[in-house]
């Protein structure tokens, strides 16, 4: 089901009558919605991101290193930066699955990996980064997971193959930005106009033919994504395992 734009957005942009299934237009509403789904998938692949909660993407067992952060008390806190963000809010559940909790946080505790989102493991989950005194709290907007008293977990034994944690999560921007919506409209219009058999975009003397229009719409969709820095999104700090936060810092 389309999320970034509607068939009405596309017909309004193309200045054609509203698409419908009954009586059937050419293309039909259902066909246009399929084209929108294709355009949305293209946007997601180009930007490596999901742009509405309904389109949330899943990451399973991302390999993460924990950065030890010095606090103003004796113990240290741990901080993990996830590759994708914003992330959906975590919850706890007995024997959790990604569908139940929006994720898993399996942290090496010296002898085994313990899922901090498994309520059977006796770990507590804070509601925000200011909710201290909990074993785990999350900055969902920045994709940062904080662990309380991390040094007590990691003081004796190093984790296997240097993997401090495996994190599964869902990520998406909750509300579709206007530039993503417009790029999706352009890509959808490009698909429709490229099909000469649909004969939906009549040419007149001096106007562009359908192939040229399709190429222009495609070009504009790409330009919007590039102008808004949606392609090749990057972080200031390394995200790959062995990169972010292998040492100790003072916040």
Q: What is the pLDDT of residue 73?
A: 58
Is residue 198 predicted with pLDDT exceeding 70?
Answer: no
Q: Give the whole-number percent of the chain exceeding pLDDT 70.
A: 81
Q: What is the pLDDT of residue 206?
A: 59
φ, ψ (nearest 5 deg) of residue 205? -60, 125
Q: What is the pLDDT of residue 21?
A: 97
Residue pair 241/162 in contact (Cβ under 8 Å)? The answer is yes
176-187, pLDDT tens digit by residue?
999 999 999 999
- Segment 222-226 mean pLDDT: 97
- Dump the DSSP string for the chain: ---S--HHHHHHHHT-PPP-BTTBPSS-HHHHHHHHHHHHHHHHHHHTS--SGGG-EEEEEEEEPPEEEE-SSSSEEEEEE-SS-SBPPP--BSS--HHHHSEEEEEE-SSSEEETTBGGGT--B-SSTT-TTSSEEEETTTTEEEETTHHHHHSS-PPGGG--EEEEEEE--SS--HHHHHHHHHHHHHHHHH-GGG--S---TTSPPHHHHHHHHHHHHHHHHHHTT-TT---SS--STTTTT-SEE--
Q: What is the pLDDT of residue 67?
A: 87
Q: What is the pLDDT of residue 6?
A: 98
Q: Residue 213 and residue 16: Cα distance in Å, rounded?
A: 15
Q: 100: how many CB neighbours lie within 10 A of its CB?
A: 14
């Amino acid at each position: 089901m389309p999320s970034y734009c509607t068939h009405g957005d596309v017909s309004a942009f193309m200045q054609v009558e509203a698409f419908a299934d009954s009586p059937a237009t050419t293309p039909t509403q259902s066909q246009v919605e399929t084209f929108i789904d294709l355009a949305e998938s293209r946007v997601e692949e180009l930007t490596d991101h999901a742009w509405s909660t309904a389109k949330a993407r899943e990451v399973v067992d991302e390999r993460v290193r924990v950065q030890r952060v010095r606090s103003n008390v004796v113990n240290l806190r741990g901080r993990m930066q996830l590759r994708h963000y914003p992330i959906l809010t975590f919850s706890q559940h007995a024997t959790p699955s990604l569908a139940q909790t929006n994720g898993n946080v399996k942290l090496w505790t010296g002898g085994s990996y313990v899922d901090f989102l498994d309520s059977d493991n006796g770990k507590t989950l804070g509601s925000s980064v200011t909710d201290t005194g909990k074993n785990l709290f999350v900055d969902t907007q920045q994709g940062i997971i904080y662990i309380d008293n991390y040094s007590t977990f990691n003081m004796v034994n190093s984790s296997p193959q240097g993997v401090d944690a495996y994190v599964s999560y869902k990520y998406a921007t909750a509300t579709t930005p206007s530039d993503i919506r417009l790029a999706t409209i352009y890509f959808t219009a490009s698909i429709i106009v490229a099909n000469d058999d649909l004969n939906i975009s009549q040419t007149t003397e001096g106007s562009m033919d359908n192939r040229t229009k399709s190429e222009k719409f495609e070009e504009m969709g790409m330009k919007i994504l590039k102008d808004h820095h949606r392609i090749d999104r990057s972080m200031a700090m390394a995200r790959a395992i062995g990169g972010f936060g292998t040492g100790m810092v003072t916040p």
